[in-house]
Amino acid sequence: MTDFTTFINKLKTRLQHPLPGLTAHAVMASETRLKLKMPSPNERTRESAVLILFYPSDNQVFIPLILRPQYDGVHGGQMAFPGGRAEKEDENLIRTALREAQEEIGVRVSDVKILGELTKLFIPPSNFYVQPVVGYMTRKPEFYPDPREVDKVIEITLEDLKKPSIIGRKTLNVRGVEVETPYYNILDTTVWGATAMMISELLILIDSVENY
């Protein structure tokens, strides 16, 4: 890994060029999503955004994810990037991602610098159309997770996230339906679905940056 500033500058430049998008998403998409004709966004679809945040610590690059509390909902107990639905006061989805990150994990909006965006991703079960926003901080943040939204904050190094050994494949029981899916094993937690698809696109971009 090159130094943090060089990495960030290269990633910012790469994000200004065409994204791998659906090709990258397909790498970590479930068999159901790949084989079936999935619904498209509709008039009831809700716009939302998540923040993928890089920061340096101990000479490594980190990204925070959150573990959502167990609840009787589509995403209960899952690992995700901090984020949520757009509100009327949000002038754009970048603002949505920043506001939600501040509310969920206590990251101050003013401390985050935006690098760009990944490909939007539609999530049929929740009818959310999600915009991944990529940003960075120049130092490790203090996290103050909202207990209503976040069970805990998980910090993972970029090097660990890139390891092929964390990729697996399994059958999950999702609301009574068995789903065959690839996943990332992040700190003994299965990360699959939309979050895994976003990570896949992110890693493909980073690989192109580091081999530039």
Please give the angle made by the CA atoms of 80, 129 and 49, to the nearest 5 degrees: 50
Tokens of 74: 């589509």
Query: Looking at the 3D structure of the chain, how many domains does it have?
Result: 1
CATH number at residue 26: 3.90.79.10
Q: What is the DSSP letter of 91?
A: S
Range of the domain at 89: 4-210
pLDDT above 50: residue 193: yes
Task: Tell me the three state secondary structure of residue 172.
Answer: strand
Give the pLDDT band (50/70/90) at residue 184: very high
Mean pLDDT of the chain: 92
Q: What is the pLDDT of residue 78?
A: 85
Percent over 70 (pLDDT), the chain: 93
**pLDDT higher at 145 or 39:** 145
What DSSP character marks residue 110?
A: G
pTM of this structure: 0.93
How remote is the C-alpha of 106 from its chain's centroid? 17
Q: Are 96 and 90 in contact (CB under 8 A)?
A: yes
Residue 212 has pLDDT above 70, yes or no: no
Average pLDDT value for residue range 13-37: 90
Cα torsion 9, 14, 16, 18 to 10°: value is: -170
For 104, other C-beta atoms within 10 Å of its C-beta total: 25
pLDDT at position 75 over 80: no
Q: Residue 102: helix, strand or coil by DSSP?
A: helix
Low-confidence winner among 73-82, 83-92, 113-122 (lowest mean pLDDT): 73-82
